[in-house]
Chain A
Amino acid sequence: MKLSLLSLALATTALATNASAADLRMSWWGGDSRHLATQEALKVCGEKHGHTISPEFTGWSGHFEKLTTQIAGGTEADIMQVNWPWLSIYSANGDGLADLKELSGIIDLSNWDEAQIEAGSMAGKLNGLPVSTTGRLFVFNKTTWEKAGLELPKTWEDLIAAGPVFQEKLGEDYYPFEAAALDASLIMTLYGTQKTGKPLIDPATNEIAWTKEELTEAIEFYQKLVDNHVIIPWKQVAAAGNVPLQENPNWAAGKIAGTYQWDSTYFKISDPLQEGQELVYTDLLSQDGEKTPGIYRKASMVFSISKNSANKEAAAQIVNCLLNEPEGVSALGSTRGVPASTTARQQLIDAGDIEPMQIEAQDRVINAKGPGIHPMMEHPDVRSALQDNLELFAYGEIDAATAADEMIYAIEEALEDVRS
Chain B
Amino acid sequence: MGGDSKYLGLWYVAPYVIGLLLFTAFPFVASFFLSFTDYDLLSRPEWVGTKNYEKLFTRDRTFDKSLKVTLIYVFTTVPLKLTFALFIAVVLNYRLKAINLFRTAYYVPSILGGSIAIAVLWRYIFADTGLVNMVITGLGGEPVNWFGEPSNALFTITLLRCWQFGSAMVIFLAALQSVDKSLYEAAAIDGAGPWRIFRHVTLPLITPVIFFNLIMQTVQAFQEFNGPYIITQGGPLKSTYLLPLYIYDEAFKSFDMGYASAIAWVLFAIIMVLTLIAFWSSKKWVYYAGDKRS
Contact = CB atoms under 8 A, between A and B. Distances in A.
Contacts of B231: 241
A242 B235 contact: yes
Interface stretch (B106-114, B191-199, B252-260): B252-260
A239 interface: yes
B121 to A, nearest CB: 11
B127 A240 contact: yes
Contacts of B232: 238, 242
Contacts of B255: 68, 89
A96 interface: yes
B42 A96 contact: yes
B253 to A, nearest CB: 4
Residue from A237, A242, A243 having most chain B Cβ neighbours under 10 A: A242
B237 A391 contact: yes
B109 to A, nearest CB: 20
Interface in A40-73: 64-65, 68-69, 71-72
Contacts of B42: 68, 71-72, 89-90, 96
Contacts of B126: 241
A268 interface: no
A388 interface: yes
A73 B249 CA distance: 19
Interface residues of B, number: 28
A353 interface: no
A237 B233 CA distance: 13
Interface string B53-94: 000000000000000000000000000000000000000000
Contacts, number: 75
A74 B178 CA distance: 54
Contacts of B145: 235-236, 238-239
A415 interface: no
B253 A238 contact: no
A96 to B, nearest CB: 7
A198 B108 CA distance: 57
B235 A238 contact: yes
Given A69-B41, A241-B123, A391-B236, A381 B254 contact: yes
Interface string B239-259: 000000000010011110000
A234 B147 CA distance: 11
Interface in A210-240: 234-240
A397 interface: yes
Nearest to B248: A65
A68 B256 CA distance: 12
Prevailing SS type, chain A contact patch: helix
Interface string B147-179: 111100100000000000000000000000000
A396 to B, nearest CB: 10
Contacts of A90: 42
A276 interface: no
Interface residues of A toward B: which range? 20 to 34
Interface string B107-149: 0000000000000000110111110000000000000011111
B107 to A, nearest CB: 28
Contacts of A89: 42, 255
A69 B148 contact: no
Nearest to B122: A241
A239 B237 contact: no
A395 interface: yes
B57 to A, nearest CB: 18
A269 interface: no
A215 B255 CA distance: 27
Contact of B128 (A64, A69, A96, A239): A239
Contacts of A235: 145, 148-149, 236
B238 interface: yes
Contacts of A388: 238
B252 A236 contact: no
Interface string A357-388: 00000000000000000000000110010001
Contacts of A242: 147, 232-233, 235
A418 to B, nearest CB: 10
Contact of B129 (A69, A240, A384): A240
Contacts of B149: 235, 239
Residue from A72, A89, A239 having most chain B Cβ neighbours under 10 A: A239
Contacts of A71: 41-42
Contacts of A395: 150, 236-237
A127 to B, nearest CB: 13
A391 B233 CA distance: 13
Contacts of A96: 42
Interface in A103-122: none
B235 A391 contact: yes
A392 interface: yes
Given A241-B123, A241-B147, A68 B41 contact: yes
Contacts of A384: 253
> 10 closest Cβ contacts across the A-B interface?
A238-B148, A239-B148, A65-B252, A72-B41, A239-B128, A235-B148, A380-B253, A241-B123, A241-B127, A239-B145
Given A69-B252, A381-B254, 10 more contacts: A68-B42, A72-B42, A236-B148, A238-B236, A240-B147, A241-B127, A241-B128, A242-B233, A388-B238, A395-B150
5 contacts: A71-B42, A72-B42, A238-B145, A238-B153, A239-B148
Interface of B: 41-42, 123-124, 126-130, 145-150, 153, 231-233, 235-238, 249, 252-255
Interface of A: 64-65, 68-69, 71-72, 89-90, 96, 234-243, 249, 380-381, 384, 388, 391-392, 395, 397
